[in-house]
Structure 1
Amino acid sequence: MNRTMITATNTLAQLQKQMDIVSHNVANMDTAGYKRREANFTDLLFQQFNNQRNLNAEEVRLTPAGIRQGVGAKLAQSQIVLQQGALKATERPLDLAFTKEGQYFRVLEQTEDGAAMRYTRAGAFYLTPVSDNETMLVTGDGYPVLDENNNSIIINGQAKNFKVTETGSFLAEAANGAIQEFNLGVVLINKPQFLEQQGNNLLGLPDGAAGEGIFTELNGALRGQIGMAQGSLEQSNVDMSKEMTDLINLQRAYQFQSRSVSMADQMMGLINGIR
Structure 2
Amino acid sequence: MNKSMINAMVSMQNLQQKLNIQSHNIANINTTGYKKLEASFQDLLTTRVNQVNDFSLEGRKSSLGVQEGVGIRMSNPYLRTEQGTMANTNISTDLAIHGDGFFEVGTLDGEDRLFTRNGSFQLVPSSDNLDELYLATSGGQVVKNNENEPISIPVNHELTIDDMGNVFAYNKSNPGEAPLELGQLKIVRILSPQYLQPMGNSLYTLSEDKLTDPSLVQEMDLNANSDFTANPDDKVNIQILQGFLEQSNVNLSEEMTEMMVTQRAFQLTSKAYSNAETMMKLAANLRS
Give the aligned partner of residue 194 of structure 1: 195
Specify the alignment match of 1:36 in structure 2: 36
Among all aligned residue pairs of Structure 1 and Structure 2, give the percentage whose two residues are the same amino acid: 34
Q: In structure 2, what is the equivalent of residue 94 of structure 1?
A: 93
Of 146, 159, 164, which aligns to 2:161? Answer: 164
- Counterpart position of 2:271: 259
Deviations 1:156-210 (A, max 9, x none): 3321x22111111111112343522221110012110111111111111135434
Evaluate the alpha carbon distance shift between residue 206 and residue 52 of structure 1 in structure 2; reply closer, same or farther with a 3 A threshold.
farther
1:116 to 95, 112, 116: 112
Q: Which amino acid letter does the alignment assign opposite residue 167 of structure 2?
A: F
- Checking the alignment, whether the CA contact within 8 Å between 2:164 and 2:223 is kept in structure 1 is no
Rg larger for: 2
Structure 1, unmatched stretches of 5+, are none
Structure 1: which amino acid aligns with 2:34? Answer: Y
- Inter-partner Cα distance in structure 2 for 1:210 and 1:231: 30
Number of aligned positions between the proteins: 262
Q: Tell me, in whole angstroms, the C-alpha distance in 1 between the residues paired with 2:33 and 2:163.
A: 18
Instruction: Measure the CA separation in 2 of the matches of 1:116 and 1:219.
Output: 22
Q: Does 1:248 align with 2:260?
A: yes
Q: Which runs of 4+ in 1 moved over 6 A?
A: none
Question: Deviations for 1:97-139, whole angstroms, at most 9, x for unmatched residues?
Answer: 1111x210001059xxx94211001111110111321111101
Normalised TM-score (structure 2) = 0.84
Name whichever structure is richer in strand by fraction: 1
Root mean square deviation, CA, Å: 2.4
Deviations 1:205-254 (A, max 9, x none): 13543442222111376576231111111111100001001110111111
Q: What is the TM-score when the length of structure 1 is the normalising length?
A: 0.87
- Give the distance between the partners of 1:105 and 1:3, measured in 2 at CA: 49
After TM superposition, list the pairs within 5 Å mapping 1:51-130 onto structure 2.
66-100=65-99, 102-109=100-107, 115-130=111-126
- For the Cα contact (< 8 Å) 1:194–1:214, is it kept in 2? no
**Please, which runs of 5 or more residues in structure 2 have no aligned partner?**
226-234
Written as runs of structure 1 = structure 2, the 5 A alignment for 1:126-165 is: 126-130=122-126, 131-159=129-157, 161-165=158-162
Supply the distance in 2 between the matched residues of 1:218 and 1:51 (Cα, whole angstroms). 61
Q: Which residue of 1 aligns with 2:207?
A: 206
The amino acid of 2:21's aligned partner reads I
SS in 2 for 1:148: coil
In structure 2, the partner of 1:235 is 247
In terms of mean alpha carbon deviation, does 218-227 or 26-35 score higher?
218-227
Q: Which residue of 2 aligns with 1:48?
A: 48
Asked whether the 8 Å contact 2:165–2:222 carries over to 1, the reply is: no
Distance 2:166 2:283 in 1: 75
Once the two structures are overlaid, the 10-residue window that deviates more, 253-262 or 202-211, is 202-211
Give the one of 210, 221, 241 matched to 1:219.
Answer: 221
- Counterparts of 2:239 and 2:189, CA distance in 1: 11
Letter in 2 for 1:167: M
Q: CA deviation at 1:49?
A: 3.3
Q: 1:205 to 1:222 in 2, by over 3 A?
A: farther
Task: Name the CA shift for 1:173/1:14 in 2 (closer, same or farther; >3 Å).
Answer: same
Secondary structure of the residue aligned to 2:32 is coil
